[in-house]
Amino acid sequence: MTGNLGIRDASGDVAALGELAAAALTFDAAEAPRLVARLAAPPADRRWTALATPDLDAAVITSVSTRAPSIGHIDLLAVDPGARGAGRGRALVEAAQEWLRGEGVTTVRVAGNPPCYAWPGIDVRYTAAACLFESLGYEREQVAWNMTADLSTAACDERALADDVERLAGKGVAVLAAGPGERAAVGAFVREEWNESWAWEAEQATGCHYASRDGEIIGFAAWGARPAWFGPMGTAPAARGLGVGGVLLRRCLAEMRAAGLASAQISWVGPLRFYSGVVGARAERVFWLYRRDLR
């Protein structure tokens, strides 16, 4: 128990936390329960907890970075609209900070904790949340953005991919879906070329596709490791310039379209021109990333 609010561990209340998040997070209500479920099933070596008020009208999910154990993350904060104005959000963030201190954390970030995260940071439209963290001494350190791809366009139609897949085949490159039997090989490729975080996402993703030449994987793209979002993706340096990345991107977006999605979020984007040029994606959601040293 923490303070007068009786804050408690709620790590086992995943369904109730999902309902709370759906009520509180107005710009993410539809996928909020799946986000909570994702945060509650991170890599096995992640230290995390969920803290909540007794009636579950406010909660926070917090975790420790695996790559940098001195860094903690506030992953999600939700306060029911009917319970706002009574200091619940502030009390929960302070309780999360105390839990993180107990785990040896010296710096807290309000930013995505790859590979299992909800958002890159605070969506700027959640202004009250940004104000709360700033009042608690958090400093804005970065800006990140997502792009949105309209899946109704011809670029995301599986039939429109046939010519490009055939073109790659003429260069000895096969574009394939990574079923259960291929996920480990794709994960090993991603781990070697990039990092463990991307490998975990590729292995956990709803859909994953890869390109192979002479029996070796040279590129991959995945979606759904973070519900309804595209990414990560990458092409080995030796295979760049063949157009592999564009075909893998479109193959994933076509699969998302076939799954009934109308649009895809491309998360934490770096190469704006690539996504804009290949599928007409537009920069849309903007996130502020915050940081505070614990003293």
What are 80-122's pLDDT values in tens digits?
A: 999 999 999 999 999 999 999 999 999 999 999 999 999 999 9
pLDDT digits (tens, 9 = 90+) for 181-193: 999 999 999 999 9
Q: How many CB atoms lie within 10 A of CB 23?
A: 17
d(CA 202, CA 225): 7
Amino acid letter, 30 = A
Question: What amino acid occupies position 285?
Answer: R
Which residues lie below 8 Å from residue 57, measured CB to CB, with a gap of 6+? 20, 79, 80, 82, 83, 88
**What pLDDT does residue 4 have?**
59
Enter the DSSP assignment of 104. T
Mean pLDDT of the residues in the chain:
95
Residue 36 burial (CB count, 10 A): 28
Distance in angstroms (rounded) separating the CA atoms of residues 173 and 178: 15
Summary count for the chain: helices (H), strands (E): 9, 13
What digits encode the pLDDT tens for the residues 12-29? Answer: 999 999 999 999 999 999
Question: Do 247 and 164 form a contact (C-beta atoms < 8 A)?
Answer: yes
Q: At what angle do helices 180-193 and 196-204 cross, to 10 degrees?
A: 160
Structure confidence at residue 1 (pLDDT):
38
Q: Phi/psi at 219 (nearest 5 deg)?
A: -170, 160
pLDDT interval class at 173 (50, 70, 90): very high
Residue type, 264: A
Report, as an integer, the average pLDDT of 253-267. Answer: 96
22-26, 29-33, 49-53, 158-162: which range is least confident on average?
A: 158-162
CB contact at 8 A, 66 and 106: no
- Say how far apart CA 71 and CA 103 lie, in whole Å: 10
Statement: residue 5 has pLDDT above 90: no
Contact 74, 137 (CB under 8 A): no
Which among 274, 253, 243 has a CA at the least distance from the CA of 206? 253
When pLDDT is averaged across residues 228-253 and rounded to a whole number, the result is 95
Per-residue pLDDT tens digits for 124-149: 999 999 999 999 999 999 999 999 99
pLDDT for 73: 98
- Determine how β-strand 139-150 pairs with β-strand 282-293: antiparallel
Q: Tokens representing 164?
A: 């490009």
Torsions phi, psi of 279, nearest 5? -130, 10
Spatial separation of the C-alpha atoms in residues 145 and 122, rounded to whole Å? 10
Burial category of 82 from C-beta neighbours within 10 Å (exposed 0-12, middle 13-18, buried 19 and up): exposed
